[in-house]
Structure 1
Amino acid sequence: MTNGTGTEFWDRVADRYAARPVKDVAAYDAMLADVAARLTATDRVLEIGCGTGSTALCLGPAVAEWQATDASPEMLRIARAKPAPGNVSFALSDADGAFDGAPYDAVCAFHILHLVPDTRATLARIHANLKPGGLLFSKTFCFGDMNLLMRALIPVLRARGLVPPATALTSRTLRQAIVEAGFEIETQRIFGRSRNSQYIVARKSTQDTQP
């Protein structure tokens, strides 16, 4: 959920964020089910931008190792206070510095690719730190696809500290960036009512042996 850019924002809102219920439980559960169906019990998974740890705690018990990272100390404080199995761990790191345990079988990047300073650079690092055949799971809010009025409102909200810094990606530019990083997109869909929140599953080629 968070990266180094905007960390102060996420530290400030962490308690309110944690107390806020999931807006669309059915959509969230359906996304988790899709991710779970693609993972195996022997997978080592890295999650960047884990926020308060809800996804890690839902999916982590079914894999060999789940390393969840976030750049916000306050978000991690909340995540670490939750009961977690021994194979789920939390570490303080921004999205570009989270790969100490590489290579991974899968990387989860939920609501983070629009928050990092350079989406393409982050995707390149993810690709480089996945095993051949490894999976990228992402869900990204595409501000660039919103209507003109909503896009004009975002800088006002940001100036008032109500939203974090973010890149106005579109679905097309997001997809293009993932492909240019070396991935093959396997699935792109929307869960729930938010038409601008794109769920994408992409795979690194099994022929790609770069570390």
Structure 2
Amino acid sequence: MSTSDKFWDSKAEGYAKSPVSDEETYQKKLSETQATFSPEMRVLEFGCGTGTTAVHHAPHVLHIDAIDISQNMIEIARRKASESNIDNITFTRGALTEFNADTASLDAVLGLNVIHLLPDRQSVLTEVARILKPGGVFVSSTGCLGSSYLRFIKLFVPLGKFLGLMPDVFVLTESELATEITNAGFAIERQWHHGMKDINVFIIARKI
């Protein structure tokens, strides 16, 4: 088990009990994402956490595969789906690079609040492009710290990880993120930011 796995396992119960910090923005993200869905779609969410977003989206699509590196998060997500009588989500522990979906097999991929936590985000974006069908949708919500004073967090990450106080966090700007998504083979259809210093960036992109 990696340091990040252990961190998120330790945070799972508290994370599940935490209220959404900005309900209005969260509902806007749900609505804009669901506007790209249709009932026959097969969707993958990587970094699904405790499954709240997958449960909200499940009634709008055929099936969702939802994965996360934390087994504790996955167990909570399964309980949430069961309590909501949702039976078209498959929750699995693992990373995107381990999921091994067939090429051009999925209609949509969601990576929400996760890209800035990945050391290999370019390979992840390449994998998202590979497994999406032409015209498929990639939805992401990412913390872009590179243009704010929070960029200095990178100085404290090694110590924070060593003490078990924080996971990997990687610093990038909104423009860098948009460029990387475009370079991976996508056309961005929606892009807006919100939150403190506008560091949270929501993007809907379509595979070219």
TM-score by length of 1: 0.88
Query: Residue 170 in 1 paired to residue 173 in 2?
Result: yes
- The code of the aligned residue for 2:122 comes to R
> Which residue, out of 46, 52, 57, partners 1:59?
57
Asked which structure has the greater RCO (Cα within 8 Å, sep 6+), the reply is 1
- Contact 1:154–1:163 (8 Å) recurs in 2: no
3-state SS of 1:109 partner: strand
CA distance in 2, matches of 1:101, 1:91: 17
> Which residue, out of 27, 38, 41, partners 1:40?
38
Structure with greater proportional helix content = 2
Provide the residue aligned with 1:123 in structure 2: 125
Superposition deviation, residue 117 in structure 1: 2.1
- Contact 1:46–1:106 (8 Å) recurs in 2: yes
Q: Point out where structure 1 has 5 or more consecutive residues left out of the alignment.
A: 206-211
**Closer, same or farther: CA 193–33 of 1 in aligned 2, 3 Å:** farther
Higher mean displacement: 188-197 or 32-41: 188-197
Provide the residue aligned with 2:19 in structure 1: 21
Provide the residue aligned with 1:190 in structure 2: 193
Provide the residue aligned with 2:72 in structure 1: 74
- Contact 1:141–1:196 (8 Å) recurs in 2: yes
Provide the residue aligned with 1:209 in structure 2: none
The number of residues matched between the two structures is 202
CA distance in 2, matches of 1:150, 1:30: 30
CA distance in 1, matches of 2:196, 2:45: 24
Higher mean displacement: 154-163 or 99-108: 154-163
**Closer, same or farther: CA 194–53 of 1 in aligned 2, 3 Å:** farther
Provide the residue aligned with 1:6 in structure 2: 4
Identity of aligned residues (%): 36
Superposition deviation, residue 19 in structure 1: 1.1
Q: Where in structure 1 do 4 or more consecutive aligned residues deviate above 6 Å?
A: none
CA distance in 2, matches of 1:122, 1:191: 24
What is the RMSD of the two structures over their aligned residues, measured on CA atoms? 1.9
CA distance in 2, matches of 1:133, 1:5: 36
TM-score by length of 2: 0.89
CA distance in 1, matches of 2:183, 2:151: 31
- The code of the aligned residue for 1:68 comes to A
CA distance in 2, matches of 1:166, 1:152: 7
